[in-house]
Amino acid sequence: MLYHRTGDHVGIGDGRLRPDIRRAEPVFPETKITPNRTPMCTYGLPVDGPQHKDFRKSSTFVWPNMEIYQHIPKHPLSGFIQHIVYVNGALPIPYITELPESGINLVIELNENTVNTVFPEKTLGIKIDMKNAWISGIQKQAITYKNNPDSTIISVRFTAGGFFSLTKIPVTAIGHVGIEAETLLGNSFKHLYQQLLNTATVPGKFALIERYFLQYAIEETMEQDIVRFVNQHIDKPIDWLIHKSGYSQKHVIHLLKKHTGFSPKYLQRIHRFHQAVKEIQHHKHHVNWFSIIHRYGYYDQAHFIKDFSHFAGIKPMEYLQSQLALAENSLVPDMILNPTETASKQR
């Protein structure tokens, strides 16, 4: 079934967004490459580089056997798309685990004959083979890719709720990880894919993708404002978020599930999990587990381990070991490169 944007918006009742919830001005996060800390990215994860005054909207880096470009779209697309990343080549590792995020990820394979394999369950009992382009990012737990050295990938990472707000395709239509993009976006995406294959330069490919999504009627809606506000303040108590929104708890939950596929509580758990991940990455040589547990609101050590394992598929100590084993892991914050736990299960 194909879904097409009509430009119409679902009514949101009589509630009104409170005056202190204002539309934020577009923000353009940028990354500048420096020799002492090399940004890198794969399958659409943000380049994690230092911030400088002389920002650039696009970043480029050539790693041994890898070429990476990151592009931040301008307003108005920046309200819907976080970034677009091009990756050519791969590290010599068997698996890559993608951690759950709050935004949908459109992955485009530019080598027509390359087949990519994803394992949507941590047991690796089920695998899905994908070609050309597919959707991920709607999973509630980590998924594992078989690392493919023959891949040339473009990844389009949407903001929380950005995919629905832009395309009006219900999140419920994305029935599973790895669903073909053409199934959702129709013949127009098929045409875009052929244009991407026929365009030689990376900036040219980025321009085609931006032009494609700009064809949708980009309108700011009250629903989108509420979803964006909740996502930006997701670390606040749910009662506070509901109160500030001016809507009932039932309606806010409905909006978030409609736009992101997640409830406010689950989005909070994902956010807290990523805060813990960043803490481990930044202090991997001296992790203060007690501080992480109490700073991010875990009840105790058992609660922290259970929640972390739920999202990552491995325990916090195993995640730390993966960070120490491969230095590049610290540069890919939403991925686990060469997860040994996964590799041993696959054998």
Instruction: Please state whether 124 falls in left (phi above 0), alpha (psi between -120 and 50) or beta.
Output: left
Q: What is the pLDDT of residue 324?
A: 85
CB atoms within 10 A of CB 347: 6
Q: What is d(CA 250, CA 189) in angstroms, rounded to the nearest whole number?
A: 35
Of 111, 101, 91, whose CA–CA distance to 163 is shortest? 101
Sheet containing 66-71: give its strands across. Answer: 58-63, 66-71, 81-89, 152-158, 105-109, 133-136, 179-180
Coil, strand or helix at 180: strand
- Structural contact between residues 162 and 232, judged by C-beta atoms closer than 8 angstroms: no
Q: How much is the pLDDT for 338?
A: 59
Among 309, 307, 237, 316, residue whose Cα is nearest residue 278: 316
pLDDT at 111: 94
| Pairwise CA distance, residues 193 & 285, whole Å | 44
Return phi, psi of residue 87, to 5°.
Answer: -130, 125
Q: What is the pLDDT of residue 50?
A: 33
Cα 305 to Cα 147, 255, 276, 315, 318, distances in angstroms: 27, 30, 11, 6, 11
What is the distance between the alpha carbons of residues 127 and 114, in angstroms, rounded to a whole number?
16
Q: Which of 1, 6, 2, 12 is nearest to 259 (CA)?
A: 12
> pLDDT by residue for the chain (347 residues), tens digit each?
333 333 333 333 333 444 444 433 333 233 322 233 333 333 433 333 333 333 335 665 555 667 888 899 999 999 899 999 898 877 778 888 888 888 899 999 999 999 999 988 766 678 899 999 999 877 788 888 888 888 899 999 999 999 999 999 888 888 778 899 999 999 999 999 999 999 999 999 999 999 999 998 777 789 989 999 999 999 999 999 999 999 999 999 999 999 999 999 999 999 999 999 999 989 999 999 999 999 999 999 999 999 999 999 899 999 998 888 876 665 556 777 754 544 444 44
In 3D space, the residue among 337, 261, 325, 324 whose CA is nearest the CA of residue 43 turns out to be: 337
Please answer whether residues 209 and 215 qualify as being in contact, where contact means their C-beta atoms are separated by less than 8 angstroms: no
DSSP 167-178: H---GGG--STT
Contact 88, 114 (CB under 8 A): no
Q: Is 194 helix (H, G, I), strand (E, B) or coil?
A: helix
Q: Token match 């050519």: residue? A: 88
Handedness of CA 217, 223, 225, 230 (dihedral sign): negative
CA atoms within 13 A on the CB side of 151: 26
Structural contact between residues 295 and 303, judged by C-beta atoms closer than 8 angstroms? no
Predicted pLDDT of residue 330: 59
Return the bridge partners of 129, or none.
117
Q: Which CATH number is 58-214 given?
A: 2.60.120.10
- With a CB cutoff of 8 Å and minimum separation 6, the contacts of 236 are none
